[in-house]
Structure 1
Amino acid sequence: MMSSTISPAPLLSLSPSPSQSHLPSPFAFRRGLCLVCHSFSQSESQADKPNSWRQLHWKEKRPRRKANAISDKEVVHQFDQLLAAKNLYQINQYLKDYAKTSNNSYPTVFSLFTRLTQAEGIGPNEYTYAILMDCCARMNQVNLMFGFLGRFLKEGHSVNNAMIFSPILKGLCWEKRTGEAATIVLYKMAKLGCIPDVVSYSILINGLSKDGEIDKAMDIVDVMISKGYDPDVITYSILINGLCKKGEIQKAMDIVDVMISKGLEPNVVTYSTLIDGLCKKGEIERALNFLDVMISKGYNPDAITYSTLIDGLCKKGEIEKAMDFVDVMISKGCDPDVITYSTLITGLCKNGETERALNILDVMISKGCEPNGVTYNTLIDGLCKKGETKRALNFLDVMISKGHEPDVVTYGTLIDGLCKKGEITKAKELFFEMISKGVDPDAMIYCTLIEGLCKEGGEIE
């Protein structure tokens, strides 16, 4: 039963409590919104700093397209023209498209929303609010989303379209507040007269799967089916991904069988997920069989799929087969990317074949594929393990010159390699260099350096 696995989250309430019987005034709401936008703008300026958490958060977790070269003044002018035409469909499309241009566009979107609310003879609808709430989710401002929902309800709009809740569910799941998301889907939406749809359930299932709560995710699928909704390929693929990440490959295979029995054909994502899961379990032959099935169904594997197989082969020590797969992917019109090349370099270095790894690096660069920090760390590690610390230090300089800041792994690898070669003076210099650059040594680095100093009979000055 669902009640035994997912209980209502007590912190969430979509209806006003006695102490919150009225929503903030429009002035207070706008003032709060302005403060959030200001805070967001400030945080965006911080995102340009090296090693910034927000830089990773925006650029890796939820990447956005580059902004178009258009001034705020021109945006307002275009929007005002749409307001004059009183075409809400075009207005919503404009807001949606502009929100996609850049992370910095969100405050402007809110400003345009304010102009819409102040216009005569036209006002926002549920699609407008959904766009705004999606912006809030991407800003990690879940509470502001609830503020917009409260305003939406206060204006007398009905919530018969589940779409209005999708940004809230996404935002909560992104913040790992899946219990609250489950409460909304299973209880709160119905109380507000809104029936969850396939998208609502799929967002929740995805959030639970990513949190490792695969059993609860499968419970939600059962609830979804009991409500008359059939899971689609996306829903099943989410479950398969969650099961593969937990190493439960056979259960994932069973889900594939269920999919097929319901007339649903696995897609490229489904096959790639299974191939990844099998490779991580070391079942390369089964993974290769699925690759053949995937191709026979007319799906073209991408660089990620091939890189997954190459990684699996490298980890099993089958380097030559991995190299052959690079030729196969190229023959299929799929160019190796930085992950593919780095995977090969890692496999070769772990096999002690640093010279071949360096040859792969040369090929990589000649193809216009720029090595990343992982690539350089791998090569430095391989060279240190071979005792070639001078070449490893040269790669540290190259790495820095290419704009890749060495991290604790880079310095730890080099210090370990230097200490093992008895080059304690250089190891100490590197130790103080990393501190001067704001990289904190970990326990392993201290232990390595202390051990090296003890053998030498020296000390850290």
Structure 2
Amino acid sequence: MACALSIAYTSSLSPSASRSRSRSPSPSPFPFTFHRGHCLLCYAFPELKSQPDRITNKPNPADTTSNLPRSTNFDDHFGKVVRLRQSHWKGGQQKEERRRLQKADAISSQEALDLFDQLMAAKNPPTSIRQLNQHLATYTRTLRNPYPTVFLLFTRLTQADGLGPDKVTYAILMDCCARTNRINLMFGFLGRFLKEGRRANAVIFSPILKHLCWEKRTGEAAIVVLDKMPKLSFIPNVISYNILINGLCKKGEIVEAFNILDVMVSKGHEPDVMTYNTLIDGLCKKDEIEKALNFLYVMISKGHEPNVVTYSTLIDGLCKQGEIEKALDFLDVMVSKGHEPNVVTYNTLIDGMCKKGEAEEALNFLDVMVSKGHEPNVVTYSTLIDGLWKKGETEKALSFLDVMVSKGHEPDVVTCSTLIDGLCKKGEIEKALDFLDIMVSKGHEPNVVTYSILIDGLCKTGEFQKALYFLDVMVSKGLEPNVVTYSTLIDGLCKTGEIEKAFDFLDVMVSKGHEPNVVTYNTLIHGLCKNGEIEKALDFLDVMVSKRHEPNVVTYNTLIDWLCKKGEPEKALHFLDVMISKGLVPDVMTYSALQNILQ
């Protein structure tokens, strides 16, 4: 019998590629090409057992949990799975806390297989496919290396009498493939599903949409939702639209996300709480807090009650804007509506207070948090250490480090990076480098943030060659420099007058898929002005605006200052007018730059 269809991912689906396919006389019904080839289902083809992804009954060496002693206690196994599901689905709980619970209730691959067999053998009452799917979904999210176990359980389901995989089972299996980066297998299972003559629905496409959005290929995800699914009579549901909207928001494409919302509503789908929460979060992350608050009122007017996630998102957005009082007002509203703040909410407010320099208020709020029965975690302590360190209260910061360790919380990369950042800001680079050595010796591998902090500190002290050395170290360890890293290096080059090299780094940054932010543009505009290239700076301002980056007070202050210095007061006053018309308030720096021409 011919093997199941395997689906190969054969194109990157650029817009031009999709257009060319749409003109083809026999367009493919999917955004990928079907072909008969070698089967990806190992159990059906014994000759493939030598492949790295083979499935056997032997414990997987990569899954260290499989080496745990076997237990035959059904209740013990079942209790673990229930606790794992509860710890995963407790949405407001801090991720670090969920990981702790999952580690405490770790279930091995063999235990999962034993439990699943017992569930399938149950006769009074028989286990439903829905219950089995719940267990498969839990294993997908909690086992260290879930694919071999989930695949084997899927195989047993296909061979069981009276039971068999349904649409949800296939969706879980495809999701497992996406999570473990077995993308060809994911499309292979979709091919098998369709070959069996099953009727697909929106659920089946969810793993594909999640994968595309996770890889920031939102254009392709939009094609699947808006074009391919309807053509195949698979009507996208609210979940399909939510996945796409979430992907667009995470990519910072808020306008496009709201366009999809309009399409969703026009198709008769009512946005749910998750839709509103996703868009509010996207607006907050773009610093559009007023729009986020307006959208909250739209949400309420449509009869949707904000939940803990909604309030926590808005509190986080307000804190990032320095609006601590408004954030505390929202906390009061949240409590009055019967929503109990969680560790994430408290950590957000403590972080906002620390960033505003209100370390004492943050410490008082810590007492409130503890009095409400919430145990501070690594994030709480790291935030307070950072806030105290930046306030110059070194002793208090170190005492909190001691408290943190005494409470059983091992300082993590974030904590260590915080301390390194504090030393760099005090100009104590040598101590920062010593602490880096201690950090590594304790088994904490520096991450992108750690290296970016060191690079920034070295650039600020004029040690640019050392900064480049750490960039090389960072890349050699497989870490990808981010916008902050590149912006820091660009700033260092601008300060030393090496504008051409700064723009070379900008080109590298863009080629790596990193979009320059307002800070990057401001740095280069200042560098050009300082180098006497005002016209180029003005041209670069146009580029900045064309890329949808709104100039801020710093941008206009820089241009006004250097235009005044160059003796072009009319242009300087023009930018003052533009600045005010944009709703930006001139500050001390603005008037200081204008003082000579205003006298």
TM-score, normalised via structure 2 length: 0.59
**CA offset at residue 254 of structure 1?**
1.1
Residues 1:417 and 1:83: Cα distance change in structure 2 (over 3 Å): same
Question: Within 5 Å, which residues of 2 pair with 1:16-31?
Answer: 20=34
Contact 2:109–2:143 (8 Å) recurs in 1: no
Q: Which residue number in structure 1 is paired with residue 108 of structure 2?
A: 69
**CA offset at residue 418 of structure 1?**
11
**CA offset at residue 373 of structure 1?**
2.1
Question: Within 5 Å, which residues of 2 pair with 1:406-445?
Answer: 406=446, 408=451
Contact 1:373–1:404 (8 Å) recurs in 2: yes
Secondary structure, counterpart of 2:145 in structure 1: helix
**CA offset at residue 332 of structure 1?**
1.7
Q: Which residue number in structure 2 is paired with residue 158 of structure 1?
A: 199
**CA offset at residue 220 of structure 1?**
1.4
CA deviation map 1:249-283 (0-9, x unaligned):
11111110001111111111111111111111222
Secondary structure, counterpart of 1:37 in structure 2: coil
Q: Which residue number in structure 2 is paired with residue 453 of structure 1?
A: none
Matched to 1:15, the amino acid is P
1:112 aligns with 2:139: no
Q: Which residue number in structure 1 is paired with residue 53 of structure 2?
A: 37
Q: Among all aligned residue pairs of Structure 1 and Structure 2, give the percentage whose two residues are the same amino acid.
A: 56
* 362, 387, 391: which one aligns with 1:351: 391
Q: Which residue number in structure 2 is paired with residue 15 of structure 1?
A: 29
| Alignment root-mean-square deviation, CA | 4.5
Supply the distance in 2 between the matched residues of 1:271 and 1:168 (Cα, whole angstroms): 30
Residues 1:374 and 1:206: Cα distance change in structure 2 (over 3 Å): same
* 150, 172, 175: which one aligns with 2:215: 175
Contact 1:357–1:379 (8 Å) recurs in 2: no
Secondary structure, counterpart of 1:71 in structure 2: helix
Contact 2:177–2:185 (8 Å) recurs in 1: yes
Supply the distance in 1 between the matched residues of 2:32 and 2:406 (Cα, whole angstroms): 68
Q: Which residue number in structure 2 is paired with residue 125 of structure 1?
A: 166
CA deviation map 1:371-396 (0-9, x unaligned):
21222232244346557788767755
**Higher mean displacement: 275-284 or 18-27:** 18-27
Supply the distance in 2 between the matched residues of 1:109 and 1:119 (Cα, whole angstroms): 15
CA deviation map 1:166-188 (0-9, x unaligned):
11111211121212221121122
Residues 1:36 and 1:14: Cα distance change in structure 2 (over 3 Å): farther
Residues 1:179 and 1:75: Cα distance change in structure 2 (over 3 Å): same
Contact 1:380–1:396 (8 Å) recurs in 2: yes
**CA offset at residue 298 of structure 1?**
1.6
**CA offset at residue 235 of structure 1?**
0.8
Residues 1:111 and 1:385: Cα distance change in structure 2 (over 3 Å): closer
Matched to 1:408, the amino acid is Y
Secondary structure, counterpart of 1:193 in structure 2: coil
Contact 2:416–2:439 (8 Å) recurs in 1: yes
Residues 1:409 and 1:183: Cα distance change in structure 2 (over 3 Å): closer
Matched to 1:124, the amino acid is P
Contact 2:354–2:384 (8 Å) recurs in 1: yes
Contact 1:201–1:224 (8 Å) recurs in 2: yes
Supply the distance in 1 between the matched residues of 2:274 and 2:232 (Cα, whole angstroms): 27
Matched to 1:150, the amino acid is G
Q: Which residue number in structure 2 is paired with residue 253 of structure 1?
A: 293
Q: Which residue number in structure 2 is paired with residue 378 of structure 1?
A: 418
Supply the distance in 2 between the matched residues of 1:33 and 1:180 (Cα, whole angstroms): 32
Q: Which residue number in structure 2 is paired with residue 266 of structure 1?
A: 306
Matched to 1:349, the amino acid is W
**Paired positions, count:** 418
Supply the distance in 2 between the matched residues of 1:226 and 1:419 (Cα, whole angstroms): 57
* 218, 228, 242: which one aligns with 1:188: 228
Contact 1:137–1:167 (8 Å) recurs in 2: yes
CA deviation map 1:147-171 (0-9, x unaligned):
2112111111112x32111111112
Supply the distance in 2 between the matched residues of 1:408 and 1:19 (Cα, whole angstroms): 42
For structure 2, which runs of at least 5 residues remain unmatched after alignment? 1-14, 65-94, 493-599
**CA offset at residue 29 of structure 1?**
9.6
For structure 1, which runs of at least 5 residues remain unmatched after alignment? 1-5, 48-58, 421-426, 449-461
Residues 1:212 and 1:24: Cα distance change in structure 2 (over 3 Å): same
CA deviation map 1:192-227 (0-9, x unaligned):
222111111111111111111111111111111112
**Higher mean displacement: 228-237 or 125-134:** 125-134
Residues 1:29 and 1:242: Cα distance change in structure 2 (over 3 Å): farther
Supply the distance in 1 between the matched residues of 2:244 and 2:141 (Cα, whole angstroms): 23
Matched to 1:142, the amino acid is I
**CA offset at residue 78 of structure 1?**
5.1
Q: Which residue number in structure 2 is paired with residue 214 of structure 1?
A: 254
Residues 1:116 and 1:303: Cα distance change in structure 2 (over 3 Å): closer
Contact 1:380–1:395 (8 Å) recurs in 2: yes
Supply the distance in 1 between the matched residues of 2:339 and 2:33 (Cα, whole angstroms): 57
Q: Which residue number in structure 2 is paired with residue 452 of structure 1?
A: none
Q: Which residue number in structure 2 is paired with residue 227 of structure 1?
A: 267
Contact 2:146–2:176 (8 Å) recurs in 1: no
Contact 1:9–1:180 (8 Å) recurs in 2: no
Supply the distance in 2 between the matched residues of 1:213 and 1:44 (Cα, whole angstroms): 42
Q: Which residue number in structure 2 is paired with residue 82 of structure 1?
A: 120
Residues 1:44 and 1:237: Cα distance change in structure 2 (over 3 Å): farther
Structure with bigger RCO (C-alpha 8 Å, 6+ apart): 1
Residues 1:180 and 1:76: Cα distance change in structure 2 (over 3 Å): farther
**CA offset at residue 19 of structure 1?**
7.9
Secondary structure, counterpart of 1:230 in structure 2: coil
1:138 aligns with 2:154: no
Supply the distance in 2 between the matched residues of 1:195 and 1:18 (Cα, whole angstroms): 19
Supply the distance in 1 between the matched residues of 2:31 and 2:213 (Cα, whole angstroms): 24
Supply the distance in 1 between the matched residues of 2:186 and 2:268 (Cα, whole angstroms): 29
